[in-house]
Structure 1
Amino acid sequence: MQRLIEALSARADDLVALRHDIHRHPEMGFEERRTAALVAARLRDWGLAVQEGLAGTGVIGTLKGRRPGQRAIALRADMDALPIQEATDLPYASANPGVMHACGHDGHTTMLLGAARHLAENPDFAGTVHFIFQPAEEGLGGGRRMVEEGLFERFPVDAVFGLHNEPGLALGRFGIRPGPMLANVDTWSVTFRGTGGHGAVPHRATDPTQPMAAFIGSLQSVIGRNLPARETGVLSVGHVAAGDARAPNVIPAEVRVSGTGRSFQPEVRGIMGRRLRELAEALAIAHGCTAEIEYRHDYPALVNTPEEVALAARAAGALAGAETVDADYPPITAGEDFAYMLQERPGAFMLVGNGVAEDGSFHHVHTPKFDFNDALIPIGAAYWVSLVAHALGAAGGDGA
């Protein structure tokens, strides 16, 4: 399988140029019209059947192997960018102010395109591969919308697989685990309301900044004193708004604090939402105020199925040895809307190392200096090809 990486590396220049082009022209969720058109054109050039327009800007390419077989699998990449101002000074840096590919979706799209081209030229497998190019992963639920619009009814599959780069993990190393791998993603907000008043006579006011301050200070008690120590839960404050900076002598009548919640188990998610609400309501009453609470469940936890994890690990290990694959990778409290696809079909989500500098440093995703590692393109594309070989062998099964 090392020869597979070498073969894909020999043709990497076109893919690198493609990745740079996508990086230079980032598009936000459900706005990926240029990227989608580029993807669809490439797939058609290589002879795949193409369906456009699912979830607005989604693209599906379908390829049948030359060997007889009834199994079908789907491979998914995401296409959208983030509302971040790029600070890399790269020659192919974003030409769209305030928008950049800060999570590597430009690389994910390119790796899957590289695999599609190779498999179209070498369709030595049994069955069908659907290449899913998904819009709007970054918080907008493009994966959910694709499922709701009939993704798996229109393109039936036995299993679905995802791949994501991981900064800080050595280039070409892989990480995966069965069961929950990425977290439930929740968004919460609390609005405390009082009468407000003049800062010089606070005894004449009902001050909502008091329960807000107490709430922020007490929030971590929800985690530390309500969750079993063996369970993971995160509650973080991301935004606080109150008053007007031009009027510091005014006690505001309303303050708002909002943030995110992360967990892996449904019961933990439930405890966090319930206790946050109870804490806010009790503190509001204690200070003579009212509280309006919203606790919204966004993305579900991403849960890999054991059989597909084993298959994906074998496919990755076949490239450079089983020692390159950590099949018990620690769970991550980030979220991923690929979880919606895994709620509908068995599958597995794999991480692959984006590399680390010689001094051990790296730029995290969702930061202005992040850039996808071009050296990863042939490795990721080779993983996809290896996965197809293992999933859709001569008999339509494991072709290891």
Structure 2
Amino acid sequence: MTQWRRHMHRFPECGFDLPLTANFIVEKLESFGIEVTCNIGQQGIVGVLRCGTGDASIGLRADMDALHINEQNSFEHRSCHDGKMHACGHDGHSAMLLGAASHLAENKGFNGTVHFIFQPDEEHGKGAQAMIDDGLFERFQINTIYGLHNMPGLAEGQFIVRPGSLMASESSFEIVIEGVGGHAAMPHRGIDPIVVGSQIIMALQTIVSRNLNAIEETAVVSATEFITNGTVNVIPSQVIIKGDCRCFTEDSLVKIEQAMERIVAGICQAAGAQYQFNFLNTFYPTVNSSTPTEHVIQAAVAVFGDEHVERNCLPLTISEDFSSMLRVKPGCYGLLGNGVDSVGGCALHNPEYDFNDNILKLGAQYWVQLVSDQLK
């Protein structure tokens, strides 16, 4: 697994353009004697392993894509592709799942069907939906689906999970305000979009504090860019506001979008300005189903020990496009510690990050245990 992981780390690929990575994984799965279907959602892969006569089935998912980051590490297996690196550990996720596939193919010991799902383009939030749209759950009869991610800052062998909302959605917005520009010395002759935009930014903060339930609907609304076409003595004719939203339920997501457009429309109408409003949801909230979460906890306790499993961790404001799969099938997503020291403590999406090879065996054992428990 360490050799596989480091090979994938040396040759990172991004988005849906994963020919080297996909071919490497397919070759390994086929060498284990696993039936493989390729090009699901462009570069997605599903390996199918059957044993016994049981009708039950399980889906185990790993992501394959890297990030557009220049790696700053100096070890031998550092990226050979300029501007690309595995800074989120997807190389490790794929290696762990390959390890579990190899073990299960050789030892069997279960009754039913295991689907090993290798997904492209997690980082842009498009890969899971692409596989779903390409018939993932129609072509393969998968009862429940499970995902796993490494977590820097969490000790090796520590595992955290929670039922319900584990991770937040991620949505972006763009507000274009069209005013009437003019001379900075004569603002009364125009409609100043900077003033309008400033009022909108302040009013957006009332969405969380006045439109959502303070106890049940945690959310973040952040304006992150304010762009104008004015200059030092010119009132602009246009302002563009961009930003980011996070929340933990789809109901909250709908409320945020509706409240945002209502605020923009009202303030612009009051000032006599025109507007365009675009709201793009990239990641849905990651919501774990209750029974699959119990199964995950059972398997994690068996592998990591009861004292190393946190059953009801705090929700995380990061996002994950495994959420799209959980909208279709019951399942659960968990987090495995990558370490707290120099080996595994570097943050995700950092140019000095590297997956901790010490946890490869732990992750593979967890997958095998989950299959053994669910496909008895």
Asked whether the two chains share a fold, i.e. TM above 0.5, the reply is: yes
Match of residue 339, structure 1, among 300, 314, 323: 323
Give 1:281-296 correspondences, 5 Å limit.
Answer: 281-296=265-280
Give the structure 2 partner of residue 69 of structure 1: 54
Per-residue CA distance 1:21-55 (angstroms, 9 max, x = gap): 21222211111111001100111111111111101
- How big is each residue's C-alpha offset from its partner over 1:48-79, in whole Å with a ceiling of 9 and x where there is no partner? 111111011011111122x3322111100011
- CA positional deviation for 1:140: 3.7
Q: 1:285 to 1:363 in 2, by over 3 A?
A: farther
Residue 59, structure 1, aligned to residue 45, structure 2: yes
Deviation, 1:209, is 1.7
SS of 1:372 mapped into structure 2: coil
Q: Percent identity?
A: 40
SS of 2:128's partner is: helix
Q: Deviations for 1:83-137, whole angstroms, at most 9, x for unmatched residues?
A: 2232333432222232222211111111111111111111111111110000111
Give yes or no for contact 2:125–2:320 (8 Å, CA) kept in 1. no
**Matching residue of 2:19:** 33
How far does residue 200 in structure 1 lie from its aligned partner after superposition? 4.7
Taking a change above 3 Å as real, the CA distance of residues 345 and 215 of structure 1, as seen in their structure-2 partners, is: same
Provide the secondary structure at the position in 2 that maps to 1:69.
Answer: coil
| Equivalent residue for 1:141, pick from 98, 123, 126 | 126
Distance 1:366 1:216, change over 3 A: farther
Deviation track 1:185-224 (CA, whole Å, cap 9, x = no partner) reads 2221111111223445444432212222232233222112
Between 113-122 and 278-287, report the one with greater CA deviation. Answer: 278-287
Between the aligned partners of 2:152 and 2:337, the Cα distance in structure 1 is: 6
Number of matched pairs? 375
CA distance in 2, matches of 1:376, 1:233: 33
SS in 1 for 2:137: helix
SS at 1:68 equivalent: coil
Q: 1:257 aligns with which of 229, 241, 260?
A: 241
The 3 A distance-change label for structure 1 pair 370 and 217 is farther
Check whether the contact 2:158–2:304 (CA below 8 A) recurs between aligned residues: no
**Does the 8 Å CA contact 1:314/1:322 hold for their aligned counterparts?**
no
Secondary structure, aligned partner of 1:350: strand
Residue in 1 that maps onto 2:300:
316
**C-alpha separation in 1, matches of 2:83 and 2:193:** 35
1:211/1:87 CA distance change after superposition, 3 Å: farther
TM-score (norm 2): 0.94
Q: 2:26·2:36 contact (CA, 8 Å) conserved in 1? A: yes
Gap runs ≥5 in structure 1: 1-14, 394-400
Amino acid at match of 2:300: A
Partner of 1:275 in structure 2?
259
* Aligned equivalent of 1:42: 28
Which residue among 118, 122, 137 is the counterpart of 1:152? 137
Q: Residues 338 and 345 of structure 2 are in contact (CA less than 8 Å); yes or no, is this contact kept in structure 1?
A: no
1:374 equivalenced with 2:361 (yes/no): no
- 8 A contact 1:84–1:102 mirrored in 2: yes
SS at match of 1:190: strand
Q: Aligned equivalents of 1:270 and 1:319: distance in 2?
A: 39
In structure 1, the partner of 2:99 is 114
Aligned-partner residue type, residue 208 of structure 1: P
Residue identity in the other structure for 2:206: S
Q: Distance in 1 between matches of 2:243 and 2:285?
A: 18
- 1:178-189 correspondence to structure 2 within 5 Å: 178-189=163-174
Structure 1 residues 363 and 68, CA gap change in structure 2 (3 angstroms):
same
Structure 1 residue ranges (4+ consecutive) displaced by more than 6 angstroms after TM superposition: none
Judge conservation of contact 1:210–1:287 (CA < 8 Å) in 2: no
Separation (CA, whole Å) in 2 of partners of 1:138 and 1:238: 20
Q: 2:152 aligns with which of 142, 167, 176?
A: 167
Aligned position for 2:345 = 362
Aligned partner of 1:89 in structure 2 is 74
Could you say if the C-alpha distance between residues 240 and 24 of structure 1 is closer, same or farther in structure 2, counting changes exceeding 3 Å? Answer: farther
Residues 24 and 198 of structure 1, relative CA distance in 2, 3 Å threshold: farther
Shift of 1:303: 1.7
Deviations along 1:147-205, one digit per CA (max 9) or x if unpaired, are: 11111221102211111111221111111111221223222111111122344544443
Residues 140, 299 of structure 1: alpha-carbon distance in 2 compared, 3 angstrom cutoff = closer
Which of these residues, 19, 22, 28, is aligned with residue 8 of structure 2? 22
* 383-392 or 175-184, larger mean C-alpha shift: 175-184
What amino acid is the match of 2:228?
Answer: A
5 Å-filtered alignment, 1:211-250, equals 211-230=196-215, 231-243=217-229, 247-250=231-234
Q: Secondary structure of the residue that 1:99 maps to in structure 2?
A: coil
Superposed displacement of residue 348, structure 1: 0.9
Aligned residues of 1:196 and 1:250 also touching (Cα < 8 A): yes
Select which of 329, 345, 356 maps to 2:313: 329
Higher deviation after alignment, 231-240 or 147-156: 231-240
The structural deviation recorded for 1:343 is 2.0
1:221 partner SS: helix
Q: Displacement, 1:271? A: 2.0
2:36 is aligned with 1:78: no
Aligned 8 A contact 2:125 2:282 in 1: no
Tell me the SS of whatever aligns to 1:70.
coil
